[in-house]
């Protein structure tokens, strides 16, 4: 037993939780076990909660900007854990990564320009490009033998042909779980450098990699790639504080940073969330031990699912994740009809997952499952899925 108890089930109902309290609004039913949106069912450890409570007890929550304690905590985390140094002026605190991606799209591209992504990928990438009237250019990841690889030739060709000005990199990759190798990142970086393409590296999942893998931050690659680099980092996945709305966007090059900040100003955003900043500084200073234990626990959840499926449902293929707490399952061995799959998951298994179709056209027979929950919930989910498969009504 470690210091922290991740088996504890905290009832999240009636907290306006997007995951637990919006079944009726979003799915038309309230009997679903939710393992969809990427937050966790684990409470913060006491040492961080105490810092937040202390600030709450002060009672005044006026405008707040990051001071030295915040900057020090952020810098120390990335220096200790990811091997690069952040200079104070490089960082812009924003309310989120998706918001920051939207700013980057406005800052570095014009209407009609191409923005390249690698589907299947976190769906707000696609939506944000479209909603800003830019062109989605897809460099589809290659799926072979249950593993995903980058198609570099296609990446280069599309950048040249489709007037691409910005690349949205997801590293580690949601939902396929790849932790990109240095050689892969360098090849992408070279192509972008040659073609004058900005890179927004969304590294929000960087603190979650499984044993045997190492997250390589884009910031640790050769400095020649930094001029057009926007590094999206956040404590929100790592410490389960998405509702506190903090992201740290690190931009070393001054001109690139000014373009980003101009869009931030134009959007009317200035001071950030006071509790978000308190939680962030505290988590980066005191949360390391909790995170290490949590990662062990998540690896246990992954083992459980892997073994369960192998034993009971070999027709479902688990794409072995190298990072993230999001598991990507291939159901093409179960059905070739995506409506049948949706019926199985929602109506029969009563699970609320993220359907593969929202990550891209080619993955309609996949489901993404969030494993950041106490083991009992994961066991329950597997049992519901198994029961539904065994009793599946193909006729509907």
Ligand X SMILES: Cc1ncc(COP(=O)(O)O)c(C=O)c1O
CB of 97 to ligand X, least distance (A): 4
CB of 37 to ligand X, least distance (A): 7
The residue among 38 and 388 lying less far from ligand X, judged by its C-beta, is 38
The only residue of 35, 204, 279, 371 in contact with ligand X, by rule CB under 6 A: 204
The residue among 138 and 174 lying less far from ligand X, judged by its C-beta, is 174
The residue among 308 and 328 lying less far from ligand X, judged by its C-beta, is 328
Q: In 238-303, which ranges are E strands?
A: 247-250
* DSSP conformational letter for 209: B
111: left (phi over 0), alpha (psi -120 to 50) or beta: beta
CB of 242 to ligand X, least distance (A): 5
For residue 112, give Cα distances in angstroms to 135, 157, 160, 319, 356.
6, 18, 15, 35, 27
Q: Is 202 in the site for ligand X (CB under 6 A)?
A: yes
CB of 94 to ligand X, least distance (A): 8
The residue among 325 and 334 lying less far from ligand X, judged by its C-beta, is 325
Q: Is 174 in the site for ligand X (CB under 6 A)?
A: yes
* DSSP conformational letter for 228: G
What is the spatial distance between Cα 367 and Cα 36, in angstroms, rounded to a whole number?
9
Residue list 205-244, contact with ligand X (CB under 6 A): 234, 236, 242
- Only one of the segments 10-18, 93-101, 299-307, 360-368 lies at the binding site for ligand X (rule: CB under 6 A); that segment is 93-101
- Only one of the segments 92-100, 141-149, 208-216, 381-389 lies at the binding site for ligand X (rule: CB under 6 A); that segment is 92-100
- Only one of the segments 91-99, 102-110, 148-156, 297-305 lies at the binding site for ligand X (rule: CB under 6 A); that segment is 91-99
Q: Is 96 in the site for ligand X (CB under 6 A)?
A: yes
Residue list 99-138, contact with ligand X (CB under 6 A): 122
Helices 46-58/274-286 angle, 10° precision: 150
What is the spatial distance between Cα 375 and Cα 330, in angstroms, rounded to a whole number?
22
- Only one of the segments 28-36, 90-98, 192-200, 216-224 lies at the binding site for ligand X (rule: CB under 6 A); that segment is 90-98
What is the spatial distance between Cα 206 and Cα 168, in angstroms, rounded to a whole number?
15
The residue among 103 and 242 lying less far from ligand X, judged by its C-beta, is 242
Q: Is 247 in the site for ligand X (CB under 6 A)?
A: yes
User: Does residue 244 contact residue 76 with C-beta atoms inside 8 Å?
Assistant: no
Residue with tokens 């892997």: 306
- In sequence order, the β-bridge partners of residue 199 are 167, 229
Q: Is 369 in the site for ligand X (CB under 6 A)?
A: no
For 319, phi then psi, to 5°, come to -85, 110
CB of 121 to ligand X, least distance (A): 8
CB of 161 to ligand X, least distance (A): 26
What is the spatial distance between Cα 337 and Cα 322, in angstroms, rounded to a whole number?
28
The only residue of 32, 74, 159, 170 in contact with ligand X, by rule CB under 6 A: 170
CB of 246 to ligand X, least distance (A): 8
CB of 297 to ligand X, least distance (A): 19
Q: Kindly report the three-state secondary structure assignment for every residue of 33-86.
A: EECCCCCCCCCCCHHHHHHHHHHHHHCCCCCCCCCHHHHHHHHHHHHHHHCCCC
- Only one of the segments 6-14, 95-103, 341-349, 368-376 lies at the binding site for ligand X (rule: CB under 6 A); that segment is 95-103
Nearest to 230 by CA among 132, 123, 104: 104
Q: Kindly report the three-state secondary structure assignment for every residue of 288-352.
A: HHHHHHHHHHHHHHHHHHHHHHHHHCCCCEEECCCECCEEEEECCCCCCCHHHHHHHHHHHCCEE
The residue among 98 and 164 lying less far from ligand X, judged by its C-beta, is 98
The only residue of 32, 38, 73, 105 in contact with ligand X, by rule CB under 6 A: 38
Residues lying near ligand X in the complex (CB under 6 A): 38, 96-98, 122, 170, 174, 202, 204, 234, 236, 242, 247
């Amino acid at each position: 037993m470690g210091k922290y108890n991740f088996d504890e089930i905290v009832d999240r109902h009636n907290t306006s939780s997007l995951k637990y309290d919006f079944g009726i609004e979003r799915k038309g039913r309230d009997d679903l076990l939710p393992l969809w949106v990427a937050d966790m069912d684990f409470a913060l450890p006491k040492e961080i909660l105490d810092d937040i409570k202390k600030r709450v007890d002060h009672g005044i929550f006026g405008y707040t900007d990051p001071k030295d304690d915040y900057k020090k905590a952020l810098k120390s985390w990335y220096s200790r854990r990811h091997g690069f140094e952040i200079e104070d002026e490089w960082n812009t605190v924003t309310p989120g990564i998706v918001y920051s991606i939207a700013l980057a799209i406005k800052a570095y591209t014009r209407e009609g320009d191409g923005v390249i992504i690698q589907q299947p990928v976190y769906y707000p990438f696609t939506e944000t490009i479209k909603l800003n009237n830019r062109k989605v250019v897809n460099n589809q990841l290659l799926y072979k033998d249950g593993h995903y690889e980058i198609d570099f030739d296609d990446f280069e060709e599309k950048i040249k042909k489709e007037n691409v000005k910005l690349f949205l990199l997801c590293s580690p990759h949601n939902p396929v779980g790849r932790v990109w190798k240095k050689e892969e990142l360098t090849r992408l970086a070279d192509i972008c450098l040659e073609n004058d393409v900005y890179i927004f590296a969304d590294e929000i999942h960087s603190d979650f990699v499984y044993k045997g893998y190492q997250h390589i931050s884009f910031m640790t690659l050769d400095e020649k790639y930094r001029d057009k680099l926007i590094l999206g980092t956040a404590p929100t996945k790592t410490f389960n504080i998405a509702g506190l709305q903090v992201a740290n966007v690190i931009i070393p090059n001054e001109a690139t940073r000014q373009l980003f900040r101009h869009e931030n100003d134009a959007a009317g955003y200035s001071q950030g969330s006071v509790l978000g900043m308190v939680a962030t500084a505290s988590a980066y200073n005191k949360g390391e031990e909790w995170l290490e234990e949590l990662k062990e626990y998540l690896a246990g959840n992954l083992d459980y699912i892997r073994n369960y499926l192998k034993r009971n449902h070999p027709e479902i293929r688990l794409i072995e994740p190298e990072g993230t707490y999001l598991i990507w399952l291939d159901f093409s061995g179960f059905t070739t009809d995506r409506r049948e799959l949706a019926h199985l998951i929602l109506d029969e298994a009563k699970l609320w997952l993220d359907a593969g179709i929202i990550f891209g056209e080619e993955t309609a027979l996949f489901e993404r499952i969030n494993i950041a929950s106490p083991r009992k919930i994961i066991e329950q989910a597997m049992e519901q899925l198994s029961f539904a498969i065994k009793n599946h009504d193909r006729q509907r």
